């Protein structure tokens, strides 16, 4: 009779090695289209616009379209850093592995922790949105407004998406392809339909014709508003790196993931520029009614605009419901694609002996990380339920703090690229720009946004919904406390893990043959 341990061992096994392509994951499972679909779906375009566009408009007014466009620049620069690093080291640990090889194990560990923190925090908001929109779609507004039932529904969403990630990357990719195609179609249809109404003979009340001033960043009223707007807009682009985190399961793993990351950011730019411009033209930036700056609409601008754009009867009613459904599936899809990179980051960290070996188990049949995937789901549920129990205000501020985690590990990746390839930057003009200037500039931009937001904008007690009285610092905004505090927690855990593990991730210098590719 077999013991429980024997039964478990028959299902899972430790990865066979820590090198790229040696971990036991299912190789050649994804092509370019699937990688692009995962990269775009991870950003949850419909959900991100619904939750963030109103906040950007509140901060910068009519310049919201140019802010969403400018936020693309650091994303594209960092996407090239991912592309170049992935070509020579296609490890699913991404920032963790690359930063460790460039700057040492401690920096690498913090890079991996940055990914984990950002993903776990955002899972709480994704789950809440999925739960609330599910009830709204089914016609139960009372349940959608209930903290208890939206929490229950959100937990169910996390469980379902964790199960899908557990059973295989191909199942995940297939679901993402279908959902993304419908989502993008609906966003484009919404935008075109809105613009047609704006430029019709009887435009809706409060609508505006598109003007050149909308695309002039110098018209933003203050540098603080500009920075906060950019950091909020960075959030709507975040997630394309998932296409790189599944690199070891992708065909042509050295080139396809990086190409998918760059293509994803460009496609997102087109989507966001179109939707932000058309939504602003249709609804205006007023603080009442359907205006995008109306505080009542700030957390969700699309569901309210759906009926106004498409109508509330007949086929228009169907399209409005479909738009709500797209926000629901967008948040649900992003829940799934948030689990993927975190599970693979912790999986790689375990095989490199940076965290307990348990996280390095892979399913014998599905060839997916097992405990890393399940642990991500369990931690996300625990964190979500805890925040809901503590305060909805703390939950709201925790979501705002995600921007700090994103800027941290994206910026670190840019700097890692420059240092990783420092010996070959003068080899050619292309190497100088693509391996050096572009990633370095992206890293500097994100470092500036991180510091300015964390120590000025977010640190003000009046920012957000909560504040904390800290020793030596006094009253400090809850967004800064959560964002910086979560990163400092990683420093503590890193040294605790090192004492427990008794060994550490040792990084050889970058192989000359790899760095000179």
Residue 509: predicted pLDDT: 43
Supply 315's token pair: 């086929």
Query: 437-457, pLDDT tens digit by residue?
Result: 999 999 999 999 899 889 988
Under 8 Å CB-to-CB from 453, ≥6 apart: which residues? 227, 228, 231, 403, 404, 407
Query: 97-131, pLDDT tens digit by residue?
Result: 999 999 998 999 999 999 999 999 888 878 887 78
Report whether 200 contacts 209 (CB < 8 A). no
Residue 7: predicted pLDDT: 44
Report the distance separating Cα 31 and Cα 27, nearest Å: 11
Supply 101's token pair: 């090889």
Give the Cβ contact number of residue 430 at 10 Å.
8
Report whether 124 contacts 384 (CB < 8 A). yes
**Domain of 411, in residue numbers:** 29-515
Supply 378's token pair: 């369990």
Over range 234-240, report the average pLDDT. 85
Q: pLDDT > 90: what percent of the chain? A: 39
Q: Which helix (H) or strand (E) holds 469?
A: strand 467-470
pTM above 0.85, yes or no: yes
20 falls within a domain: no
Answer yes or no: is pLDDT of 236 > 50: yes
The number of CA neighbours under 13 Å toward the Cβ of 191 is 18
11 falls within a domain: no
Query: 355-393, pLDDT tens digit by residue?
Result: 888 898 888 888 889 999 999 999 999 999 988 888 777
Q: 407 exposed, middle or buried (CB, 10 Å; 0-12, 13-18, 19+)?
A: buried
Report the distance separating Cα 341 and Cα 345, nearest Å: 6
Q: What is the CATH number of the domain that holds 463?
A: 1.20.1740.10
Residue 66: predicted pLDDT: 95
6 falls within a domain: no
2 falls within a domain: no
153 falls within a domain: yes
Report whether 120 contacts 383 (CB < 8 A). yes
Task: Tell me whether strands 361-363 and 467-470 are parallel, antiparallel or unpaired.
Answer: unpaired
Residue 517: predicted pLDDT: 52
* DSSP codes of every residue in 313-381: SHHHHHHHHHHHHHHHHHHHHHHHHHHHHHHHHHHHHHHTTSS-GGGGEEETTT-SBSHHHHHHHHHHH
Q: Which helix (H) or strand (E) holds 475?
A: strand 474-477
Residue 144: predicted pLDDT: 80
Over range 399-417, report the average pLDDT. 92
Supply 172's token pair: 């995940």
Over range 193-205, report the average pLDDT. 90
Under 8 Å CB-to-CB from 448, ≥6 apart: which residues? none
Nearest to 129 by CA among 327, 398, 326: 327
DSSP state, residue 201: S
Answer yes or no: is pLDDT of 512 > 80: no
Under 8 Å CB-to-CB from 231, ≥6 apart: which residues? 403, 407, 449, 453, 457
10 falls within a domain: no
Nearest to 83 by CA among 235, 263, 206: 263
Higher pLDDT, 406 or 12: 406
Answer yes or no: is pLDDT of 223 > 90: no
Report whether 89 contacts 98 (CB < 8 A). yes
399 falls within a domain: yes
Which ranges constitute the DSSP H helices of 12-146? 32-43, 45-60, 64-70, 72-88, 95-103, 105-137, 141-144
Q: Quote the number of domains for the chain.
A: 1
For tokens 């420092």, the residue is 422
Which residues on neighbouring strands pair with residue 14, listed in sequence order?
Answer: 361
């Amino acid at each position: 009779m077999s013991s429980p341990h024997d039964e478990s061992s028959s299902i899972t096994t430790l990865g066979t090695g820590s090198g790229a392509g040696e971990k036991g994951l299912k190789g050649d499972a994804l092509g370019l289209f699937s990688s692009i679909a995962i990269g775009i779906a991870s950003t949850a375009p419909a959900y991100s616009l619904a939750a963030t566009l109103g906040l950007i408009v509140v901060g910068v007014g009519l310049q919201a379209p140019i802010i969403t466009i400018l936020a693309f620049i650091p994303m594209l620069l960092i996407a090239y850093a991912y592309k170049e690093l992935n070509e020579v080291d296609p490890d699913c640990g991404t920032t963790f592995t690359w930063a460790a090889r460039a700057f040492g194990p401690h920096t690498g560990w913090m890079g991996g922790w940055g990914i984990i923190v950002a993903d776990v925090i955002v899972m709480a908001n994704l789950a809440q949105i999925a739960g609330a929109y599910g009830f709204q779609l089914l016609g139960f507004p009372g349940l959608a407004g209930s903290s208890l039932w939206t929490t229950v529904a959100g937990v169910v969403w996390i469980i379902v998406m964790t199960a899908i990630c557990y059973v295989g990357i191909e199942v995940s990719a297939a679901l993402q392809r279908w959902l993304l195609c419908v989502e993008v179609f609906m966003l484009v249809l919404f935008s075109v339909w809105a613009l047609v109404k704006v430029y019709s003979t009887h435009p809706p009340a409060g609508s505006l014709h598109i003007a050149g001033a909308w695309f002039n960043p110098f018209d933003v009223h203050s540098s603080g508003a500009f920075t906060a707007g950019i950091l909020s807009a960075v959030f709507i682009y975040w997630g394309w790196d998932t296409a790189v985190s599944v690199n070891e399961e992708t065909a042509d793993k050295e080139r396809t993931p990086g190409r998918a990351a760059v293509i994803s950011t460009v496609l997102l730019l087109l989507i966001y520029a179109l939707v932000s411009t058309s939504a602003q033209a249709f609804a205006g930036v007023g603080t009442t009614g359907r205006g995008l700056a109306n505080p009542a609409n700030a957390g969700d601008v699309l569901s309210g605009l759906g009926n106004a754009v498409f109508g509330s009867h007949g086929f228009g009613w169907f399209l409005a419901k479909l738009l709500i459904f797209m926000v629901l599936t967008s948040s649900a899809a992003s829940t799934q694609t948030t689990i993927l990179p975190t599970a693979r980051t912790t999986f790689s960290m375990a095989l490199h002996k940076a965290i307990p070996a348990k996280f390095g188990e892979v399913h014998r049949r599905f060839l997916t990380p097992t405990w890393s995937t399940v642990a991500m789901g369990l931690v996300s549920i625990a964190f979500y339920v805890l925040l809901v129990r503590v305060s909805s205000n703390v939950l709201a501020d925790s979501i705002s703090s995600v921007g700090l985690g994103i800027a941290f590990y994206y910026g670190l990746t840019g700097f890692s690229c420059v240092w990783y390839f420092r010996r070959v930057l003068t080899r050619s003009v292309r190497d100088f720009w693509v391996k050096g200037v572009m990633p370095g500039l992206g890293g500097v931009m994100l470092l500036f946004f991180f510091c300015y937001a964390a120590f000025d904008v977010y640190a003000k007690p009046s920012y957000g919904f909560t504040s904390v009285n800290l020793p030596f610092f006094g009253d400090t905004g809850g967004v800064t406390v959560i964002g910086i505090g979560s990163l400092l927690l990683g420093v503590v855990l890193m040294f605790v893990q090192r004492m427990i593990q008794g060994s550490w991730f040792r990084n050889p210098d970058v192989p000359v043959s790899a760095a000179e590719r």
